[in-house]
Amino acid sequence: MSAPLLSIADLKVRIRGNPQARLLRGVSLSIDRGETLAVVGESGCGKSLTSLAVMGLLPDGLEKSGGVIRFDGADLPVTDNEAMRKVRGRRIGMVFQEPMAALNPVFSIGDQVAEVIHEHEAVSHAAAMARVVDLLTQVQLPEPARIIHEYPHRLSGGQRQRVVIAMALACRPDLLIADEPTTALDVTVQAQIMRLLHDLQDDMGIAILLITHNLGLVAQMADRVAVMYAGRKVEEATTRMLFAAPQHPYTRGLLAATPRPGRRRPGEPPLTEIPGVVPAITEMPSGCRFRPRCMLASDICALEDPPFVDGVACHRAVSRELVP
Amino acid sequence: MSAPRRNLPFRFIGKRILQAVLTILGIAIINFFLLQLAPGDAAEALAGEAGTADAGYLANLRREFGLDRPLWEQLATFLMRIATFNLGYSFRYGETISTLILSRLPATLLLMATSIVIALVIGILFGVTAARYFNRLPDRLISLVALLFYATPPFWIGLMMILVFSVWLGWAPTGGMRDITAPDGGIAGVFDIARHLALPALTQAFFYLAIYTRLVRAGMLEVLSLDYIRVARAKGISEQRVAYRHALRNAVLPLVTVVGTNIGGFLGGAVLTETVFSWPGIGRLMFDAMLQRDLNLLLSILVLSSVFVVIANLAVDLIYPVINPTVELR
Ligand SMILES: Nc1ncnc2c1ncn2[C@@H]1O[C@H](COP(=O)(O)OP(=O)(O)O)[C@@H](O)[C@H]1O
Ligand SMILES: [Mg+2]
């Protein structure tokens, strides 16, 4: 088997100058060409930081303190801004959560999409604009020839997210990172955008790193799923396996809290929330960070952070419980 | 950037011109009465200089200047003159007021344009740099310099400039706009004026610079944390371009307002600088007119200033939507 397109090994991110504040504690993920990997987990578990670390765009005040990120067979120089500029927008495109805030209000749509083309390719302005029109057509915006002259405030949230997607795909990247691309949109628009991403992926053969906390989207889109909790990966499986046989109590909690449209059979248990909230970074418990919220927690869980073995990081994982 | 296609805002401009005329009328009337409140008049000032306090002489002068007429009549005359652009005659200078003002206006406009351009270029550079290096050394240095300029009175900066660059170093003349011996035109003439212009323009620029730097820094700090800046970075464009193209254009609106105010207020605002450097501009003309109770001249300059303010404000309003298309003219 060939090397994965993107592999993240033991990625650690902390607050600069504060070794205690470990926001990512050794995250490992990998994505093959053309594949979709979903990363799920509650708000604040480190999904966005993981993707920003890959882009070399960690916020000021945070630093990568460990780990190796490889992309297309070479180390990704995430701390070298100039080197990363050739990757961003060209090899890896990114779509963010807030379409309403993602476009610069003072530049026309056409100029903003064309900018990424100009940045990475030597093309005339006319040629770039022609490509922008094609791209806007591809993301199914109506009247693209008119929209290139419009300013963002004249577009709806869904339309703006389509523009952002067009921008991310303009240079035909190998990987698209979509960080909660539909969370801010209403349900019908959500479905349209996800279908669009799915179709574009079929057309262009790009890999997608889909960050979401919506397990419904995961079921539709993803080949594999990684579940994160409090700065680390706690479970990973193919989508089918994850839904069929979740291992980690947290994953099971997530699934139990997710409505499955049209599939609620009589006798099926009602939706249940995972009790409690993620502890603050300064108040993390000893051992397993999920322990205070876990109904299966036992003594060993307080002693040691469980290692990630056989697709799950849990002392009490289902598969392990079965072993006598 | 391709230009936005929008209709020329004729209705907007029409409405604003009407407002402007009313504003200027109001300002003229208020100024007229304010100056009436000030003690003394031109006749007294002239008589004082001539060393007489003879009542007959005073009465004569007053009749000659129209100062003996009832107040409302003086006001009506004054307003009529403004309306017909015939500003009357300055008895002090023995010239029509329009000639006087027109002869002084270029010096002031030159000083204004130069100092504001200098302040804008450096202020934007400083403000952007400070924001990009927030709380680090460049930011601290720039903020300190801005604070110093802000806290130091411009006349004092002017005097220090003269001391250092004229008296000690001998690089620039101490005042005036041109040497008597210098040729009138050509490269040498331009160079001569530039030499005279340097110190007053810098002095005035420092005054604005402090404000511009702080405004740009604050605006940039706000904008740089916004989502679309991260999106711009995710496209792979350079930090330089992110700062000066994506962020600055969004951070610059408050600056436009303040620059507009500075331009509008310049006729009166440069009095100190023009005085310190004996710059033959409107500010000094106004100052002299005040000392000499040349109310006609003073009122004319004040009204001209208000016209300037109104035009500058209108220009700001028209520039706004060009810089930021989310702003709409109303
Ligand atoms: N700039 C920052 N400074 C300090 N902490 C941060 C910063 N950005 C994110 N964090 C913290 O890092 C953790 C992970 O954040 P994030 O990756 O954004 O979560 P999410 O999974 O919701 O995308 C959160 O606890 C958040 O509070
Ligand atoms: Mg997030």
Number of H helices, E strands in chain B: 16, 2
DSSP string for residues in B116-148: HHHHHHHHHHHHHHHHHTTTSHHHHHHHHHHHH
Q: Chain A partners of B251 at a C-beta cutoff of 8 Å?
A: none
Q: Which residue of B has its CA nearest to A58?
A: B230
Residue B45 tokens, joined: 């000032």
Q: Which residue of A has its CA nearest to B247?
A: A104
**Domains, chain B:** 2-95 (no CATH), 103-323 (1.10.3720.10)
Alpha carbon of A153 to those of A61, A200, B192, B232, B298: distances in Å? 31, 26, 51, 17, 48
Q: Chain A partners of B236 at a C-beta cutoff of 8 Å?
A: 84-90, 116, 119-120
Name which residue sits closest to atom 19 of ligand 1, judged by CA: A44
Is there a contact between A151 and B239 if contact means CB atoms under 8 Å apart? no
Name the burial class of residue B166, with classes exposed (0-12), middle (13-18) and buried (19+) by CB atoms within 10 angstroms of its CB: middle
Above 70 in pLDDT, residue B69?
yes
Q: Which atom of ligand 1 is nearest to the CA of A278?
A: 25
Residues of B with CB under 8 A from a CB of A: 1-2, 4-5, 134, 226-228, 230-239, 246, 249-250, 323-326
Is there a contact between B250 and A105 if contact means CB atoms under 8 Å apart? yes
Is there a contact between A107 and B235 if contact means CB atoms under 8 Å apart? no
Is there a contact between A102 and B323 if contact means CB atoms under 8 Å apart? no
Q: Which residue has the higher pLDDT, A267 or B266?
A: B266
Is there a contact between A153 and B326 if contact means CB atoms under 8 Å apart? yes
A55 contacts chain B (CB < 8 A): yes
Q: Which residue has the tokens 């349209």?
A: A192
**Strand A175-179 vs strand A207-212: parallel, antiparallel, or unpaired?**
parallel
A17 contacts chain B (CB < 8 A): no
pLDDT band at B3 (very low <50, low <70, confident <90, very high): very low
Is there a contact between B236 and A115 if contact means CB atoms under 8 Å apart? no
Element (H, E) at A238: strand A232-238
CA A258 to chain centre: 18
Alpha carbon of A49 to those of A14, B116, B132: distances in Å? 10, 44, 22
Q: Which residue has the tokens 């088997």?
A: A1
Residue A268 pLDDT: 59
d(C-alpha B47, C-alpha B53), whole Å? 6
Is there a contact between A88 and B239 if contact means CB atoms under 8 Å apart? no
Alpha carbon of B246 to those of A245, B193, B323: distances in Å? 48, 38, 12
A88 contacts chain B (CB < 8 A): yes
d(C-alpha A138, C-alpha A134), whole Å? 6
Above 80 in pLDDT, residue B213?
yes
Residue B53 pLDDT: 67
Q: Which of A83-92, A173-182, B133-142, B305-314 has the lowest mean pLDDT?
A: B305-314
Residue B22 tokens, joined: 């009313």
At A132, which amino acid appears?
A: V
Over residues B169-185, the pLDDT tens digits come to 988 888 888 887 777 77
Residue B107 tokens, joined: 């010096």
Tell me the CA–centroid distance for residue A9 and ligand 2, in Å.
Answer: 20
Residue B227 tokens, joined: 């989502």
Q: Mutate one of A106, A135, A154 to test the B interface: name it (highest B CB count within 10 A).
A: A106
Range(s) of chain A covered by CATH 3.40.50.300: 1-83+173-261+269-276
Tell me the CA–centroid distance for residue A47 and ligand 2, in Å.
Answer: 6
Name which residue sits closest to atom 23 of ligand 1, judged by CA: A48
- For ligand 1, mutation pick of A13, A25, A27, A48 (most atoms within 8 Å of CB): A48
Name the burial class of residue A57, with classes exposed (0-12), middle (13-18) and buried (19+) by CB atoms within 10 angstroms of its CB: middle
Q: With a CB-CB cutoff of 8 Å, which residues 117-136 of chain A face chain B?
A: 119-120
> Which residues hold their Cβ within 5 A of ligand 2, which is an ion?
A 48
Query: CB contacts < 8 Å between A and B, how many?
Result: 83
Residue A281: CB within 6 Å of ligand 1?
A: yes
Element (H, E) at A40: strand A36-40
Residue A214 pLDDT: 86
Residue B254 tokens, joined: 């408050």
Is there a contact between A89 and B226 if contact means CB atoms under 8 Å apart? no
Tens place of pLDDT for every residue, chain A, 324 residues?
Answer: 578 999 999 999 999 988 888 999 999 999 999 999 999 998 899 999 999 999 999 998 999 999 999 999 999 999 999 999 999 999 999 999 999 999 999 999 999 999 999 999 999 999 999 999 999 999 999 999 999 999 999 999 999 999 999 999 999 999 999 999 988 888 888 888 999 999 999 999 999 999 998 888 899 899 999 999 999 999 999 999 999 999 999 999 999 887 765 555 566 566 677 888 888 878 888 899 999 998 888 888 898 899 998 899 998 886 665 544
Residue % of chain B over a pLDDT of 90: 35
Residue A129: CB within 6 Å of ligand 1?
A: no
Q: Give the ligand whose atoms come closest to the C-alpha of residue A59.
A: 1
Q: Chain B partners of A89 at a C-beta cutoff of 8 Å?
A: 234-237
Q: Mutate one of B235, B250, B252 to test the A interface: name it (highest A CB count within 10 A).
A: B235
- Residues whose CB is less than 8 angstroms from the CB of residue A88 and which lie 6 or more positions away in sequence, other chains included: A55, A56, A57, A94, B233, B234, B235, B236
Tell me the CA–centroid distance for residue A44 and ligand 2, in Å.
Answer: 7
The class (CATH top level) of A1-83+173-261+269-276 is alpha beta
Does the global pTM surpass 0.95?
Answer: no
